[in-house]
A and B are shown apart, each in its own frame.
Chain A
Amino acid sequence: MSKIGVFICHCGENISATVDCERVAQELAKVEGVECAIDYKYMCSDPGQTIIKDAIREHHLDGVVVGACSPRMHEPTFRRACAEAGLNPYLCEIANLREHCSWVHEKGDATTNKAIDLVKMLVEKVKRNKPLESIKVPITKKALVIGGGIAGIQASLDIANAGHQVILVEKDPSIGGHMSQLSETFPTLDCSQCILTPRMVEVAQHPNITLYTYAELESLEGFIGNFTAKIRLKAKSVDYKKCTGCGACMQKCPQKKIPSEFNAGLGTRTAIYVPFPQAVPNKPVIDREHCNYYKRGKCKLCETACPTGAIEWDKEDEILTEQVGAIVVTTGFNVKGTDFFPEYGYGKYKDVITGLQFERLASASGPTFGEIRRPSDGTIPKKIVFIACAGSRDPAKGIPYCSKICCMYTAKHAMLYQHKVHDGESTVFYMDIRAGGKNYEEFVRRAIEEDHVNYVRGRVARVYEKDGKLIVKGVDTLLSGEQVEIEADMVVLATAGVANCGAEVLAQKMHISYDPYHFFAEAHPKLKPVETNTAGIFLAGACQAPKDIPETVGMASGAAVKVAGLFSNNELVREPLIAVVNRMPPPVFSTCVGCFMCQTACPYNAIEREEIKGRDGKVIKTVAKVNPGLCQGCGTCVAFCRSKSIDIQGYSNEQVFAEVMSLLNQ
Chain B
Amino acid sequence: MNTTNSEFEPKIVAFVCNWCTYAGADLTGTSRLKYATNVKIVRFPCTGRIDFMLLLRAFAQGADGIIVSGCHPNDCHYTSGNFHARRRWITFRGLLDFMGIDVKRIQYSWVSAAEGAKWADVVNSTVANIRELGPYTEYKKVAEYLDKEDYNG
A253 at interface, CB cutoff 8 A: no
Docked-complex contact B40 and A635, CB < 8 angstroms:
no
Docked-complex contact B49 and A118, CB < 8 angstroms:
no
Docked-complex contact A511 and B79, CB < 8 angstroms:
yes
Complex alpha-carbon distance, A88 and B45, angstroms = 21
Give the Cβ gap from B43 to chain A, nearest Cβ, in Å: 8
Docked-complex contact A635 and B62, CB < 8 angstroms:
no
Given A634-B49, A635-B49, A651-B45, are A513 and B81 also a contact pair (CB < 8 Å)? no
Docked-complex contact A656 and B44, CB < 8 angstroms:
yes
A98, closest chain B residue (CB): B29
Q: A residues within 8 Å of B by Cβ? A: 70-72, 96, 98-101, 103-106, 110-111, 113-114, 117-118, 121, 507-508, 511, 513-516, 521, 525, 533-534, 577, 601, 603-604, 632-636, 638-640, 648, 650-651, 653, 656-657, 659-661, 663-665
Complex alpha-carbon distance, A592 and B115, angstroms = 40
A118 to chain B: which residues have CB within 8 Å? 40
Give the Cβ gap from B74 to chain A, nearest Cβ, in Å: 5
B33 to chain A: which residues have CB within 8 Å? 104
B57 to chain A: which residues have CB within 8 Å? 657, 660
Give the Cβ gap from A509 to chain B, nearest Cβ, in Å: 10
Complex alpha-carbon distance, A277 and B133, angstroms = 70
B76 at interface, CB cutoff 8 A: yes
Chain B residues 17 to 75 lying within 8 A of chain A, measured CB to CB, are: 19-20, 22-23, 25-30, 32-35, 37, 40-46, 48-52, 54, 57-58, 61-63, 74-75
Chain B residues 104 to 143 lying within 8 A of chain A, measured CB to CB, are: 112-115, 120
Given A121-B42, A660-B54, A660-B57, are A104 and B29 also a contact pair (CB < 8 Å)? yes
Docked-complex contact B77 and A534, CB < 8 angstroms:
yes
Give the Cβ gap from B123 to chain A, nearest Cβ, in Å: 9
**What interface size band does chain B fall in?**
35 or more
Docked-complex contact A99 and B40, CB < 8 angstroms:
no
B58 to chain A: which residues have CB within 8 Å? 660, 664
B79 to chain A: which residues have CB within 8 Å? 511, 603
Complex alpha-carbon distance, A601 and B80, angstroms = 9
Give the Cβ gap from A11 to chain B, nearest Cβ, in Å: 11
Given A104-B33, A601-B84, are A634 and B48 also a contact pair (CB < 8 Å)? yes
B41 to chain A: which residues have CB within 8 Å? 96, 100
Given A70-B29, A513-B113, are A508 and B74 also a contact pair (CB < 8 Å)? yes
Docked-complex contact A105 and B35, CB < 8 angstroms:
yes
Docked-complex contact A105 and B37, CB < 8 angstroms:
yes
Give the Cβ gap from A89 to chain B, nearest Cβ, in Å: 17
A99, closest chain B residue (CB): B29
Give the Cβ gap from A458 to chain B, nearest Cβ, in Å: 31
Complex alpha-carbon distance, A98 and B85, angstroms = 29
A513 to chain B: which residues have CB within 8 Å? 19-20, 23, 75, 112-114
Given A513-B20, A639-B51, are A634 and B81 also a contact pair (CB < 8 Å)? yes
With A514-B114, A660-B13 known, 20 other A-B pairs at CB within 8 A are A72-B22, A99-B29, A100-B25, A103-B29, A118-B40, A121-B42, A513-B75, A513-B114, A533-B19, A533-B77, A632-B78, A634-B49, A636-B81, A638-B49, A638-B51, A639-B48, A639-B85, A660-B54, A660-B57, A660-B63
Docked-complex contact B84 and A114, CB < 8 angstroms:
no
Complex alpha-carbon distance, A96 and B25, angstroms = 10
